Amino acid sequence: MNFDAVTKFYDYLPKLEDLKNILYPQQQREFVLLFAEELLEVETANKWIQQFSLKYQVQSGEKLKSIEEFPHHIANITNLLSTQSHKNLTLVVLGGGTVGDFGGFVASIYKRGIDLIHIPSTWLAAIDSAHGGKNALNVGSVKNQVGTFYPAKAVILVKELFASLSQDPVRSSLGELIKIGIVNSPSLIEFMKDTEAKPEDYLWELLPQAIMAKMNIALQDPYEKTGLRQQLNLGHSLGHVLETLCGWPHGWAVAQGLYFSLHWSLEKKIINKESHSDIYNFLQRFFAEKQSPQGESLPKLTEVDFLKVLAGDKKKMGNNTINFVFIQQLGKVVIEAVTEQEMMSEARRQGWL
Amino acid sequence: MNFDAVTKFYDYLPKLEDLKNILYPQQQREFVLLFAEELLEVETANKWIQQFSLKYQVQSGEKLKSIEEFPHHIANITNLLSTQSHKNLTLVVLGGGTVGDFGGFVASIYKRGIDLIHIPSTWLAAIDSAHGGKNALNVGSVKNQVGTFYPAKAVILVKELFASLSQDPVRSSLGELIKIGIVNSPSLIEFMKDTEAKPEDYLWELLPQAIMAKMNIALQDPYEKTGLRQQLNLGHSLGHVLETLCGWPHGWAVAQGLYFSLHWSLEKKIINKESHSDIYNFLQRFFAEKQSPQGESLPKLTEVDFLKVLAGDKKKMGNNTINFVFIQQLGKVVIEAVTEQEMMSEARRQGWL
């Protein structure tokens, strides 16, 4: 499979004919649209959606990713597409992260796989989740328990969508942008350091660079076999705990994970003091440490809950190792195996517990 | 992905340690067994099953393949494996076709894919379905609507299993064996012509040749992109209709499809009279045309039902084309697009309707 999706940038939602010509010039092709219902409230998106005779509307959110809901959805989709040959069918997925995860999974298993185009509608999806070919559903309380590696043929980035949706990019996605900068794009961080503009005013311009930095890593290890792709998990060990226990938005939780990794890296002498201060000061411009995006302080976390999330709801806890991503310098991270107990101790030392 | 699974032949079920050494010498590895409950009644299999501390028992049959049942199963499996790291986990699937389809799908999506070993327990699975990396589940009445291409790392063929299960290979699987012979292994057919032994006495010896003949084709077009792999659908258009409407076993239904393709190929002058008679006489040694395996004559089929199954339960019927596999000579088939209406006319001409 080819993980190197065609990536296109548009000011406005492209005409269906243009979308077709990107991948299928001169070919017959049927498009079916899967879209998040909140886009009906965006006038231009609503109008665009009406072009599709085959379309399926879903509600964004974790419930969409529940495996328990899946039989119902796939029966509806099967019914919708029952007159279509799957041979020339492409699923267009318009929405944010959960819709992308759901739609990617559907495309990967419907008739053993049909073509997929992602049109992310949130900054978080545009920066991160629409790229790299991973999708997932949840099983009970276990997030992302099932899924596939199934790259889109194309990812379409539409400026208008991000402008028209009321989103706070700092809260929802800036953590992922800065993460990829630290992992693999120092110049992206340098740009952000040097500008006094607000992120919402330059995020669109930084998108190509951020996506390329991510894909440079993902393409070297698309199926997560060599461990190289795990670099992209920087900030995610603690991030996942905070997302689950505090309900903080993904990007914000990852940003907290960046602080955590940064401090631990200094403690382990993986990063020098100067680089540590440099990155620390940079993070502080955007994220208040140990606070919610609304400025509320960290809720009381118990060690049992913390360990439970860390261990992925495993019955036996505390004996497993985590491939933790440490920061050596801007543009260079290193992965080291640590035990869950070591991570707990560090969380205690840093005052998260 | 590598579709060329390690294929091994054993007289008895290999020790777990031997199984491990085939794929993972010197490596740490956890095996989890998915098995069909009827194997508990086979003493040696039962004893073998007890070796596994991680195991999940299922009932064979189409119900297992229902997407509606899937959330329940995957929740159980998630719970069973909650203390395991998926990184060194291999799913061993012991059972026939439906268990293999279910297990292959589970392996392909659990944590985005874990290693898979097939140990087929029926002749049909041993000859055909365990090889080539296809799996599927059903959505409502639509068979094999979702699934993945996900090859096993190894397929283990165990003589003892086939000897100990009470199976009638002629009814259940011989159609697939002869199909692959006609498509790609004339010497397999010549061998069967020349011997007076019963199929059950030489099926085991023919297995390697039959598997190789199938895989030679599957490996040239693993994802069914070029159409080459469709050669393996010989006999399956009518076969699928008979399986659905008459409830005839898969292999037997495919055998009826071989007759159908053979006669149509003569009508279209794709095969010459001599080759037609030759193959016709051969088929008659094993399969009574237009009869069930028990010798009951063909039930009354209506054109509406026939077309409905043919069209895959599509709402609009009769306008679609089928890539029909015709027989040119032993070892050579040709694919031609026909309309559903043309296939209906031919079915009428041959007296199936």
pLDDT at residue B313 in the model: 59
- State pLDDT tens for residues B227-240: 999 999 999 999 99
Q: Which of B86, B113, B83, B116 is nearest to B99 (CA)?
A: B116
Give the closest-approach CA distance of A112 to chain B in angstroms.
4
**Which chain B residue lies closest to A85 (C-alpha atoms)?**
B320
Yes or no, beta carbons of B224 and A67 under 8 Å apart:
no
Give yes or no for residue A104 having a pLDDT over 70.
yes
What is the pTM assigned to this prediction? 0.94
- Output DSSP code: residue A192: H
Question: Which residues from A are below 8 Å from B142, CB to CB?
Answer: 78, 82
Which of the residue ranges A139-148, B98-107, B183-192, B307-316 would you say has the lowest mean pLDDT? B307-316
Yes or no, beta carbons of A142 and B316 under 8 Å apart:
no
The CATH number fitting domain A6-162, selected from 3.40.50.1970, 3.30.70.330, 3.60.20.40, 2.30.29.30: 3.40.50.1970
- State pLDDT tens for residues A248-287: 999 999 999 999 999 999 999 999 999 999 999 999 999 9
pLDDT at residue B169 in the model: 66
Model confidence at A300, pLDDT cuts 50, 70, 90, reads confident
Yes or no, beta carbons of B148 and A313 under 8 Å apart:
no
pLDDT at residue B82 in the model: 87
* Overall average pLDDT of the A107-123 stretch: 97
A308 or B314: which carries more pLDDT confidence? A308
pLDDT at residue B314 in the model: 65
Yes or no, beta carbons of A82 and B110 under 8 Å apart:
no
* Overall average pLDDT of the A313-317 stretch: 61
- Output DSSP code: residue A154: E
* Overall average pLDDT of the B248-273 stretch: 97
Interface test with B, best of A139, A308, A316 (most B CBs within 10 A): A139
User: Cα separation of B98 and B80, whole Å?
Assistant: 21
DSSP B96-125: SHHHHHHHHHHHHHBTT--EEEEEE-SHHI
Yes or no, beta carbons of A71 and B74 under 8 Å apart:
no
* Overall average pLDDT of the B333-342 stretch: 95
Give the closest-approach CA distance of B296 to chain A in angstroms.
34
- How many alpha carbons lie under 13 Å from residue A57 in its C-beta half-sphere? 10
The dihedral formed by the CA atoms of B73, B74, B79 and B81, expressed in degrees to the nearest 10: 110
Question: Which residues from B are below 8 Å from A315, CB to CB?
Answer: 82-83
**Which chain B residue lies closest to A87 (C-alpha atoms)?**
B225
Model confidence at A319, pLDDT cuts 50, 70, 90, reads low
Yes or no, beta carbons of B74 and A145 under 8 Å apart:
yes
Yes or no, beta carbons of B320 and A113 under 8 Å apart:
no
Amino acid at A11: D
Please, what CATH class does the domain formed by B168-350 belong to?
Answer: mainly alpha
Residue B162 near residue B11, CB atoms below 8 Å: no
pLDDT at residue A318 in the model: 61
Yes or no, beta carbons of B78 and A142 under 8 Å apart:
yes
Question: Which residues from B are below 8 Å from A73, CB to CB?
Answer: none
Give the closest-approach CA distance of B225 to chain A in angstroms.
9
Residue A276 near residue A320, CB atoms below 8 Å: no
Question: Which residues from B are below 8 Å from A134, CB to CB?
Answer: 112
Question: Which residues from A are below 8 Å from B226, CB to CB?
Answer: none
Give the closest-approach CA distance of B277 to chain A in angstroms.
36
Yes or no, beta carbons of B314 and A148 under 8 Å apart:
no
Which of the residue ranges A75-84, A161-170, B31-40 would you say has the lowest mean pLDDT? A161-170
Yes or no, beta carbons of A146 and B110 under 8 Å apart:
yes
Two tokens at B34? 């998915």
> Where do we find the tokens 């004893």?
B47
Model confidence at A156, pLDDT cuts 50, 70, 90, reads very high
Adjacent-strand bridge partners of B116? B91
Give the closest-approach CA distance of A88 to chain B in angstroms.
11
Amino acid at A59: Q
Q: Where are the beta strands (DSSP E) in chain A?
A: 6-10, 30-36, 55-58, 89-95, 115-120, 137-139, 142-146, 154-158, 321-329, 332-339
Q: Most confidently modeled of A85-94, B168-177, B194-203, B230-239?
A: B230-239
Instruction: Report residue B270 CA to chain centroid gap.
Output: 27
Q: What is the mean pLDDT of chain A?
A: 94
Give yes or no for residue A15 having a pLDDT over 80.
yes
* Overall average pLDDT of the A173-185 stretch: 96
Cα angle B68, B72, B78 (rounded to 5 degrees) comes to 135
Give yes or no for residue B284 having a pLDDT over 90.
yes
User: Cα separation of A165 and A36, whole Å?
Assistant: 12
**Which chain B residue lies closest to A144 (C-alpha atoms)?**
B111
* Overall average pLDDT of the A100-125 stretch: 97
Report the length, in residues, of chain A: 353
- State pLDDT tens for residues B209-219: 999 999 999 99
Question: Which residues from A are below 8 Å from B315, CB to CB?
Answer: 82-83
Give yes or no for residue B311 having a pLDDT over 90.
no
* Overall average pLDDT of the A225-234 stretch: 94
Question: Which residues from B are below 8 Å from A110, CB to CB?
Answer: 145-146
User: Cα separation of A278 and A327, whole Å?
Assistant: 12
Give yes or no for residue B114 having a pLDDT over 90.
yes
> Where do we find the tokens 């292959």?
B104
- State pLDDT tens for residues B118-170: 999 999 999 999 999 999 999 998 889 999 999 999 999 999 998 777 666 66
Three-class SS of residue A30?
A: strand
Model confidence at B109, pLDDT cuts 50, 70, 90, reads very high
Yes or no, beta carbons of A82 and B314 under 8 Å apart:
yes
pLDDT at residue A166 in the model: 67
Q: How many CB atoms lie within 10 A of CB A9?
A: 13
* Overall average pLDDT of the B232-261 stretch: 95
Give the closest-approach CA distance of A46 to chain B in angstroms.
28
Q: Is the ipTM of this complex over 0.90?
A: yes
Q: How many CB atoms lie within 10 A of CB B292?
A: 19
Task: Supply φ then ψ for residue B45, to 5 degrees.
Answer: -65, -45
B71 or A83: which carries more pLDDT confidence? B71
Query: What is the number of CB-based contacts under 8 A between chain A and chain B?
Result: 92
Yes or no, beta carbons of B147 and A67 under 8 Å apart:
no
Which chain B residues have any C-beta within 8 angstroms of a chain A C-beta?
67-68, 70-71, 74-75, 78, 82-83, 85, 108-113, 134, 136, 139-140, 142, 145-149, 223-224, 312-316, 320
Instruction: Report residue B320 CA to chain centroid gap.
Output: 25
Yes or no, beta carbons of B70 and A75 under 8 Å apart:
no
Residue B99 near residue B92, CB atoms below 8 Å: no
Model confidence at A167, pLDDT cuts 50, 70, 90, reads low
Give the closest-approach CA distance of B149 to chain A in angstroms.
6
Q: How many CB atoms lie within 10 A of CB B184?
A: 22
pLDDT at residue A242 in the model: 96
**Which chain B residue lies closest to A74 (C-alpha atoms)?**
B139
Interface test with A, best of B112, B221, B233 (most A CBs within 10 A): B112
Which chain A residues have any C-beta within 8 angstroms of a chain B C-beta?
67-68, 70-71, 74-75, 78, 82-83, 85, 108-113, 134, 136, 139-140, 142, 145-149, 223-224, 312-316, 320
Domain ranges for chain A, please list them: 6-162, 168-350
pLDDT at residue B315 in the model: 61
Residue A155 near residue A120, CB atoms below 8 Å: yes
Question: Which residues from A are below 8 Å from B312, CB to CB?
Answer: 82
Yes or no, beta carbons of B136 and A315 under 8 Å apart:
no
pLDDT at residue B167 in the model: 65
